[in-house]
Structure 1
């Protein structure tokens, strides 16, 4: 599957040595949902799903969140009021 068809989470997961089937078994998230989180740009992972994935991959939760949200920035301070 080309990287252009992967979601941000799908891209992160594609770099890890755990198949979608094993991830599903470890987390309890259905195979269909895991697949959607990989390729469906409209799918948004829940906090609980990200947490379970982090546990299954044995990585800090913040690593996944940082990867998914690295482009988010606060508005300039001049616009705060």
Structure 2
């Protein structure tokens, strides 16, 4: 039985990677990250990429590291200053 993965089941990193022209297999070969781990980073919301994985993925995609980080962290903000104490 073939399992289809819709965009609604992708992680944020999976969504980012789905817009890039590199297959999971090629990404695995270029980065040295296992195919299983690449797959989990695409669809398993419990799987959080490490800094090293994000860096290797950026190198493989030939994009700046901060491009991926900014996409993954979009919407994050510091707490209001009055709540700092």
TM-score interval, smaller chain: over 0.9
Q: Distance between the aligned counterparts of 1:42 and 1:71, measured in 2?
A: 19
Whole-angstrom CA distance in 1 between matches of 2:47 and 2:81? 32
Choose the corresponding residue for 1:54, options 47, 58, 62.
58
1:31 maps to which of 26, 32, 35: 35
Q: Which has the higher helix share?
A: 1
TM-score, normalised to structure 1, is 0.98
Q: Which runs of 5+ in 1 are unaligned?
A: none
SS across alignment from 1:43: coil
TM-score with structure 2 setting the length: 0.94
- 1:80, CA displacement in angstroms? 1.0
Query: C-alpha separation between the residues in 1 aligned to 2:74 and 2:42?
Result: 18
Measured in 2, the distance between the counterparts of 1:71 and 1:9 equals: 15
Give the deviation of 1:36 after TM superposition. Answer: 0.2
Equivalenced residues, count: 81
Structure 1 counterpart of 2:25: 21
